[in-house]
Amino acid sequence: MRILGLDPGLATLGYGCIEVQNNTCQVGDFGVITTPANLPMGDRLQSLYTDLHMLIPALQPDLVALERLFFYKMSHTIVVAQARGVILLVLSQLHCQLMEFTPPQVKQALTGYGNAAKIDVQQAVQRELNLSTLPKPDDAADALAIALTASRHCPCFHA
């Protein structure tokens, strides 16, 4: 089974794809989609839309896991909400199965502590996926963490 994790953002959208087989997870692909800050908002959202329409069919995930909005700075939350809207539209158009998790749920799943530090989550991702170094950039590492969280919450992957 293949799970695609997405860490939504307008400037940087992280993605991480893992393969789950026999209760083990391996990294498939990870990276970021970026949009230039000097573009108008509509063009940036269109760029995310287009890039996701190319990325998702290329990765062919069985499940997509998405970070749910978690409010901390209102101006940042609004921009992320706009990017999430585009992501949800693309996922619907491509008929993707979706699971959503808040940041504390991801931290709890990977470290056992819902307020864990970012470095603790990154180290858990590195360990779980048997990577020689911490995954970079941070948005991609977060996306891998979201995908790993989905692998632990979906009974269909524990056959």
Q: Which residues are catalytic?
A: 7, 67, 139
- Are 111 and 121 in contact by the 8 Å Cβ rule? The answer is yes
Structure tokens at 45: 């959202």
Alpha helices in the chain (DSSP H): 41-59, 74-93, 103-111, 118-128, 138-153
| 60 φ, ψ (degrees, to nearest 5) | 50, 60
Angle at 127 between CA 24 and CA 98, to 5 degrees: 55
